[in-house]
Amino acid sequence: MASMFSVPKKQHKTPSEKPSVRLLQAGVVWTVTSGILLLLILSSVSIGSVRYSIPEVFRALVGLEDGPIRVIVVSLRLPRVVLAMLIGASLATAGALLQAVMRNPLADPGLIGVSAGAGTAAITILLLFPALTMSLPLFAFLGAALACVLIYSMAWKGGVDPIRLILTGVAVNAVLGGYNSMLQIMNSDNLASVLAFFNGNLSGRSWVHVNTMAAYAIFGLGLSLLCIKSANALQLGDEMCKNLGVRVNASRICLSAVSAFLAAATVSVVGMIGFVGLVVPRISRMLVGSDYKVLLPTSMLMGAAVLLFADTLGRSVVPGMEIPVGIVMAVLGGPFFLYMLRKRGKFSGT
């Protein structure tokens, strides 16, 4: 279990020393990650079919540069950068919350059926009811919520066991994947939008999409900060939580609902993007430990940086061609997932 919950062995140490060291370590991580994120923002805005220098980008951002450069930087590239950061922070937070719910570092919205529920609802709207496309975020959230309800109801047996929850989620994910494949076969003449949806594409997004995602992200990330106490308690185990007066099942449902909301919001705006919620919280645990007071902000910041890096890489690795960010994350996240399986580290990541 995370060292923050253990009793110090040496009597001469004060109880505040350990949290102080952990907070200092988190401050260093936040500072370095923020610097990397700033460099990624400038690099991403400067990269495209026409490349601009960093000074040109900076002058366009502060309003000292007019003409086509400012239009391209402010109206086309900057919205994509901001959206990538919002999506990355939301997915990383959703994954971190689910890992607390299931006490498993391999839990992720895309692996246990939450994202699949949102994706199934979105694909159904896109292919069968295109007139309702404007309400896609609402239907995506309802799909994710229904998937959560289905997973919990099937895993419930006098309570919710994390292992049953994961196995049920995998099964629901497989069933929904089969439904999605059947729907694509039946509507094979209208798959252009669906293919872009499955690959998680940020191309062509504008400030309208940023404003939509920002509203969802601010609300969902704010709710996640209110779940810190419950997330820390769930890591202690069910028996310890009950002894402390924590309502275990209610806490799991609340954390899952917030995670589903964040995952559904990202799916409705940019489509399916995997592995962010798996990779980022794990790296964050390795750097700052398992206390959600520092783990959650670290995951948000690092999630923004990771997805922005993946999107920038997809736009620059092949000249004249843009690789969707969902594909880039699959290529980068898959090997890391296998590494985690091989290592078989403890949940705390210490």
Q: What's residue 21's pLDDT?
A: 63
Return the biggest CA–CA distance within the chain: 72
- Distance between CA atoms of residues 329 and 303, nearest Å: 12
Q: Using the 8-state DSSP alphabet, how is residue 322 labeled?
A: -
What pTM does this model have? 0.85
Q: How far is CA 306 from CA 90, 141, 209, 300, in A?
A: 12, 24, 20, 10
Low-confidence ranges of the chain (pLDDT < 50): 1-17, 345-350
Q: What's residue 338's pLDDT?
A: 80
Q: How far is CA 170 from CA 109, 117, 150, in A?
A: 11, 12, 12
Helix (H, G, I), strand (E, B) or coil at 156: strand
Tokens for 120?
């199934």
116 Cα distance to chain centroid: 14
Q: What's residue 18's pLDDT?
A: 61
Domains, the chain, ordered by start? 3-343 (1.10.3470.10)
| Cβ atoms of 55 and 324 closer than 8 Å | no
